[in-house]
């Protein structure tokens, strides 16, 4: 019984899996944040371009 408890205490495979899971989660959160920010900026840019082009078409 002492041997089983000793092996269980030394086993780090579960801890490694948890660490990889946390790293993957942090990377996912970062990617979502960046994509959201870039998407908002692109939306503003395309709105500006669309308004400018609509103004140019009306002047003709």
Please give the full DSSP string across 3-25, using - where no structure is assigned. Answer: HHHHHHHH--HHHHHHHHHHHHH
In the chain, the N- to C-terminal Cα span, in Å, equals 90
* CA 33-34-36 angle, 5° bins: 65
pLDDT in tens, 26-38: 999 999 999 999 9
Assign 3 a pLDDT band (cuts: 50, 70, 90): confident
Percent of the chain residues past pLDDT 90, beyond the cut: 55
């Amino acid at each position: 019984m002492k041997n089983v408890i000793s092996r269980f205490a030394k086993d780090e495979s579960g801890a490694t899996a948890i660490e990889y899971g946390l790293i993957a989660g942090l990377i996912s959160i970062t990617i979502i944040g960046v994509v959201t920010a870039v998407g908002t900026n692109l939306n503003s840019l395309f709105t500006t371009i669309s308004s400018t082009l609509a103004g140019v078409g009306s002047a003709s």
